[in-house]
Amino acid sequence: MGKFRLVGLLGAGGMGRVFLGRAPDGVAAAVKVVHPYLLNGDETEFRRRFVREVGAARRVGSGFTAAVLDADPDAAVPWLATEFVPGITLGDAVARFGPLPEESLTALASGLFTALSGVHGAGLVHRDIKPSNVMLDVDGPKVIDFGIARVAEATGLTRTGQTVGTLGFMSPEQFERSDVGPESDVFSVGAVLAYAATGRPPFPGDTLPVLFANLTTRPPDLDGLPAALAPLVEAALAKSPAARPTAEAARAMIPAPPTHVRADHGWLPPAATTAILRAASAALRTPGPATFADAKTTADVRAPAAESRRPGGDASPRVHPVAPRASVISEASPAPAAASRREAWERFGLPALVFALIMVSSDFWVADTEMWEHWAAAILIVRFCMVGLLVCTMTVNPGSSGFLRGVGYVFAATNAVGFYLGVMFGAGPTLAHSMPVFNTAIALSVVAYAYREVRTRRMRLAAA
């Protein structure tokens, strides 16, 4: 895209996909490419709106937001490049390591409300602040995804009638109308802080009617929130927009960090800091387009000889135009739910199925001594084939979780040794008693891991 070479998929949302891009000078960027179907309506108006949003986002001056680097609203598929923030999201951190301690919450609140001050000072309303839009860096939090930002003034950009936001972190007025103001962002930050402190949204609800009723009539669930932060979060979560503080006023309400915090400790727990550094290192080592394959999407990255431009381009000025070297993104854009189901199948379902096939194809037979005596060679061959299938599954399928891949390789190596002993030294009777026990232990570990992942994904769903 422009001067950026796409090297990996970072994520996908309602308005587009986000890729990791690299400039010729090595600078990394998060390149957001809009979904092609968004151009099916009034394309001219969409592109004009895109230009305005990018121009407004450039006015945001805050060290806690991702800066806009480049954009091209006239490309065949419009795109926007922002500063790449290596690390993990707040939602991932809470799901993996639990609620944040008080000193981390204080730093998080300071960073988020500082970011809001910059956003609102530029005349913008973010409208979708949530845990997955808050990146955690070793230097502090950063608010990302300004692709859905809207100019706060009464312009066509706020009269689309579209509700932008995420259930569980939307303000009450955002449920009822689209032209919300900065007060809505303050509410969302309050909800994010409550989630970071407790591990759950402040207003529960499994369905939209229940959530809306709790949001508009019940007080927030702040059990577990540190007392020092309670006045700030309660004020931010006021039902009436007029009763909420501004971002600047909220910053003034943030308590001083606890006195026991060491200066060299960092603002996050050590485990979270380690995860951030590992995630940043892994992202920056992402392979190039020729070898990149991401299990979370069916969209592919293709680089044609020249960029395809839309005919009869809009007269609106381009935002920092670049040489026409952009890639064309596939029209395929799977829904988030479908992508989530496919990811779950690739990461857990497919490996678990192979484990089950191995168990059924060999362990029950091996345990039968009489069957072993008559069909030893056939049983070992079937086991060998199943282990080979397992190795192929773990190697070819990049979506397999790291734990299952590790277990798979250990499982394959152990069973390969068993195959060799059974054929070369007639160790069938020994295997008949040892392998079922070993494989049962492996199966139980896989089940325990899958259960943990299911619980983790439920927490991430609450944060998404």
Q: Which of the residues 72, 74, 128, 294 is marked catalytic?
A: 128
- Cite the DSSP H helix spans in 23-89: 43-58
Strand, helix or coil at 5? strand
Virtual torsion, Cα 408, 410, 412, 418, nearest 10 deg: -150
The reply, when asked if residue 32 is annotated as ligand binding, is yes
For 57, the 3-state DSSP assignment is helix
List, as one string, the DSSP characters of 285-318: T---TTT---TT-S--EE--SS--B-SS--SSPP
Q: What angle do CA 57, 61, 64 make, to 5 degrees?
A: 95
Q: Which among 347, 340, 342, 375 is positioned nearest to 361, based on CA atoms?
A: 375
CA 292 and chain centroid, separation: 18
Is 294 tagged catalytic? no
Residue 182 phi, psi dihedral angles, 5° rounding: -60, -25
Helix (H, G, I), strand (E, B) or coil at 241: helix
Rounded-to-integer distance, Cα 236 and Cα 455, Å: 29
Please, what's the b/e burial string for 381-403 (b: 16 or more CB within 10 A of its CB; e: otherwise)? Answer: ebbbebbebbbebbeebebbeeb
Using alpha carbons, select from 13, 50, 239 the residue that is nearest to residue 160. Answer: 50
Q: What angle do CA 61, 162, 10 make, to 5 degrees?
A: 55
Query: Which residues lie below 8 Å from residue 245, measured CB to CB, with a gap of 6+?
Result: 186, 235, 236, 253
Helix (H) or strand (E) holding 185: helix 182-198
Q: Kindly tell me the number of DSSP H helices and DSSP E strands found in the chain.
A: 15, 12
CA-CA-CA-CA torsion for 214, 232, 194, 125, nearest 10 degrees?
Answer: 80
**CA 154 – CA 123 distance, rounded (Å):** 11
> How many CB atoms sit inside 10 A of residue 448's CB?
10
CB contact set of 434 (below 8 Å; sequence gap of 6+): none
Residue 327, amino acid: S
Where is the binding site for ATP, in residues?
32
Positions marked catalytic: 128
Where is the binding site, in residues?
32
